[in-house]
Structure 1
Amino acid sequence: MPTEKEALGARLRAAREAPPYWSRGEMARRIRRAASPGDREQLAHVQALTHMIKEWERGLHRPSPRYRSLYALATGRTEDELFGPERSAQRAEPLGSLPGLPLPSGELSARLAEITGRRVGAGIVTDLAARVHGLRLADDLLAGGDLFVPAVRELENAIRVHRESSHSEQTSRELLALIGEFAQIAGWVASDAGEHDRAAEIYRLGIDAAREAGDRTLESNLLGSLAYQVANVGEPAEGVELARASLDVAGPDAPPRARALAWDRFAWANARAQDRAATVEALGQASAALDQNEHQDADPGYLYWVSEGELQVMEARAYTELRRPLRAVPLLADVLSRYDATHTRELALYLSWLAVALVDANEPEEAAAVTSRMLDLSAEVASDRTAKRAHLVLERLRPFESSPPVAQVLREAPEPRGASLG
């Protein structure tokens, strides 16, 4: 028996495919046209909305109240006809609680109880901004398996503050933007923990929050994060569409580091899709955008990590994905020679790409040495990404197991789990 979400998805697909039959892209355009001109700016762009429609029809997510209303208008049906009893079961607020998220406890819970119903202002905004930045710094050192529960708890706290207190319009926008920032880091952490469906749901919530706040730079960042996950664990072509939407939302006037990151995500999605020309063009655009960053103080704080070195890593990863090891190996070797060893997860991930590039360069003994170091680093890291990258590297080494160094690494490696991730 299909789940409630699957049954709803089937109804939405049937409504779309009824004569005269609309593609998902056409359905996305019709939903946007159904909105008033003022509301249209608050909606997802066509590429992102097309992906959302696909997820609705698969029963992965439910449309928010705004999209339910527009879907009904676009198809000429009533909301009751399309959504049935499910309509009254959902909250009317644009933002709601993610199902299954742990509620805060202890001292923080008591403080939130004091906030409920009260008017809040700059003080709570400052406090939440410090908490989200602390969470980002923790992600530099800890893996998704360690941070998942704290990250989603912090997101839930921010949502409760916005929903259960009163505040000015300006404070409301600032709180919504902070919800978007919490959602970006919580989605990233969830993805690293292997909770990909939860990550997509959290990213979607953050995109809605950023759009409500009118923060296009943050919306672009969230779309790019979702594109990165979809390119890695979904269909790369959909990742390309979402990454293009991230670029469109950012626009030419976004801060340079925001544009550089959006182009970087677009480059990676195209590399996963094996589009070499688009990848190389996007890498060049990312570098050019970062070169314009003369006033870093104007960049949002969450872009602190976007640097020339990080772009170099993405360039090397993209060339590895495109099986161009002679371009990838020197770049990775240069980055790794000066990388902060306290960032264990990232160091292990970057070593995994170097190992793959060395295999492609027909240097299995060097690849085995790099793999051994990578496995040592990742042994105690609670990251789904590092575990799956280890699996990929070991599989790429197996054709060379007649080489004693390779045979030793394969023999001593822990039992891998999962399939490959980008």
Structure 2
Amino acid sequence: MESPRWAVRIRAERKARLWDTHSTARRLREAAGENGRDLPDHEALVRSIRRWESGKITALSERYRLLFCRAFGMSEADLFNPDSPGSEPDAAALSSQSATDCHDLEAMASFRGADRQVGGGHLYATVVGYLERDVAPRLFGGSDGAAAFVAAAAFTEMVGWMAHDAGQDDVADQHFARALDLAGVGGDRRLEAHILGSMSHLARHLGRADDAVRLAHRGTTMLANTRTAAPAMESRLLTMAARGFAVLGDSAECAQLLVRAEDTLGQEEDNAASPWAGPFDEGALALDAARSMLILGQFKSARRHAGQAISLRCGDRTRSRAFARLVLAEALIACGQIDEACSAMLGVIDDTRSLSSLVVNRQLGGLRERLEAYREEEIVADSLNVLDTALRERRWLYKWGGPHCGSGGPALRA
């Protein structure tokens, strides 16, 4: 059994530090600090490390990814990037992939890593350019066949998310619909289900909660029909449906789906998982649960889930951490903890100075409106002044599209 790339990288780093599995287990426990009380006992943790490194477990949870990063003193991008020195190709995952597929997968991993830190506004034109230059010519008349359509679907979904991040939701909707069609031609049903989850997210964002639930359920049905285990993808779809029910005010159905999503996420992944679908992990689930609780007015629960999401995100997950802190700030305001809310907001500002995400900035604007009622307090007035300055400075980041703006539909202005 071949070990996945991340496992090869972890084993190489462990050996470079002259750590055996027992010392590695101790380092992980030290990295967890006070939050390590619920870790398994030492021998069980050692056995888990050996299973991870041998490839018997093909997915590593977000919590343990974070602990390994802390233990090794490395960023998530450096430790888990498949292009990192010392990593080896995962033969089980890549044996059926052509050299072109591998090139596309490596490009996608690079784009995803950059997008997490700098946002879609900076990268949209770059990824559209890759689609036009490297992928589109292979769709017709090339030798890649269905694989080219699958790659095109994956990159088209990616630029849909980048358009959404830059505040261009109509363009994002067009990209997602096109990606779904391309995935259908390519025959990747798992990728289709994943794209339906993205469409569900956008529908809820646009106020179409019924559509959000319908699209998520369509995705889970499609996934079930593949008759293979894809717990991360199924958990994501269940979470999307839960968020739709939160908007509809159905707290019972929302809670039930979130419990199912958590239980599902802990199951073992099938080796046949689509390599094109974006990741979904414990941090993402915690963030979406926090958002759902906030919508339902369950503010203490929203605070708890948001805190969990923040703790599960390394420093290179800039946008994700920002979203979690924004939810935390909203919940803190609702609980009357204004000073703490200002601190959370200032943390978002500091972390996102180089992030081109209109979604983040709009949520900061919404937070500003809620804090305005408390401006007479000195800490609030000072915090709002910092926010106003930051928002003015960021306006230049949203010159939408560049030379490729026409690729996603009509030319757009920010």
Q: TM-score, normalised by structure 1?
A: 0.65
Q: Where do 1:35-54 residues align within 5 Å?
A: none
Amino acid at match of 2:255: V
Q: What are the residue-to-residue correspondences of 1:255-270 with 2, within 5 Å?
A: 255-270=230-245
Is the CA contact 2:325–2:345 (under 8 Å) kept in the aligned structure 1? yes
Aligned with residue 250 of structure 1, among 200, 204, 223? 223
Computed over aligned residues only, the root mean square deviation of the Cα atoms, in angstroms, reads: 2.3
CA, structure 1 residues 341+122, in 2 after alignment: closer, same or farther (shift >3 Å)? closer
Please report how far the alpha carbon of residue 206 of structure 1 lies from its aligned counterpart in structure 2 after TM superposition: 0.8
- 1:329 is displaced (CA, Å) by 1.0
Do the aligned residues in 2 keep the contact of 1:158 with 1:175 (CA within 8 Å)? Answer: no
- 1:385 aligned onto 2:356: no
In structure 2, give the amino acid aligned to 1:245. R
- Displacement of 1:304 after TM fit? 6.2
- CA apart distance, 1:184: 1.6
* Aligned mate of 2:308, from 321, 334, 357: 334
Aligned length: 294
Give the counterpart of 1:217 among 190, 208, 215: 190
d(CA) in 2 for partners of 1:221, 1:136 = 16
CA contact (8 A) 1:152 1:186 kept: yes
Cα distance in structure 2, aligned partners of 1:212 and 1:164: 12
CA distance in 1, matches of 2:217, 2:318: 31
**Does 1:239 pair with 2:215?**
no
One-letter amino acid matched to 2:239: D
CA shift digits 1:322-358 (9 cap, x unpaired): 1211111122223323521122222222111100011
- Which whole-Å CA distance do the structure 2 matches of 1:337 and 1:127 have between them? 33
Q: CA deviation at 1:287?
A: 1.1
Matched, 1:403 2:385: no
Greater relative contact order structure (CA < 8 Å, 6+ sep): 2
Given candidates 263, 272, 290, the residue that maps to 2:247 is 272
Q: CA separation in 2, counterparts of 1:187 and 1:351? A: 24
Instruction: Return closer, same or farther for 1:197/1:407 CA change in 2, 3 Å cut-off.
Output: same
The whole-number CA distance in structure 2 between the counterparts of 1:207 and 1:338 is 31
Q: Residue 128 of structure 1 aligns with which residue?
A: 104
Q: Between Structure 1 and Structure 2, whose CA radius of gyration is higher?
A: 1
Distance 1:264 1:135, change over 3 A: same
Per-residue CA deviation, residues 351-404 of structure 1 (Å, 9 max, x unaligned), is 111000111112112111111211222333211111111011111222222322
Task: Measure, in 1, the Cα distance between the counterparts of 2:269 and 2:191.
Answer: 18
Q: Are the counterparts in 1 of residues 154 and 277 from structure 2 also a CA contact under 8 Å?
A: no
- Residue in 1 that maps onto 2:318: 344
Change (3 A) 1:334 1:159: closer
SS of aligned partner of 1:301: coil
State the one-letter code of the partner of 1:123. A
Per the TM alignment, residue 297 of structure 1 is displaced from its structure 2 partner at its CA by: 4.3
Q: Which moved more, 1:133-142 or 1:390-399?
A: 133-142
Structure 2 match to 1:60: none
1:192 alignment partner AA: D
Q: 1:286 aligns with which of 243, 261, 265?
A: 261
Distance 2:202 2:324 in 1: 17
CA distance in 2 between partners of 1:267 and 1:368 (Å):
29
Q: Per the alignment, in what secondary structure is the counterpart of residue 99 of structure 2?
A: helix
Q: 1:9-54 CA deviation, whole Å, 9 max, x = no partner?
A: xxxxxxxxxxxxxxxxxxxxxxxxxxxxxxxxxxxxxxxxxxxxxx
The code of the aligned residue for 1:274 comes to: G
Q: Give the deviation of 1:259 after TM superposition.
A: 0.6
Q: 1:155 to 1:274 in 2, by over 3 A?
A: farther
Q: Aligned residue for 1:150? A: 126
Distance 1:128 1:315 in 2: 32
Percent sequence identity over matched residues?
A: 23
In the superposition, the TM-score normalised over structure 2's length comes to 0.66
Q: Distance in 2 between the 1:282 and 1:316 partners?
A: 14
Q: Provide the rounded CA distance (Å) in 2 between the counterparts of 1:337 and 1:160.
A: 40
Q: Does 1:308 align with 2:299?
A: no
Match of 1:201 in 2: 174
- For 2:358 and 2:280, the matched residues in 1 are separated by 23
User: Distance in 2 between the 1:283 and 1:291 partners?
Assistant: 13
Q: Report the counterpart of residue 333 of structure 2 in structure 1.
A: 359
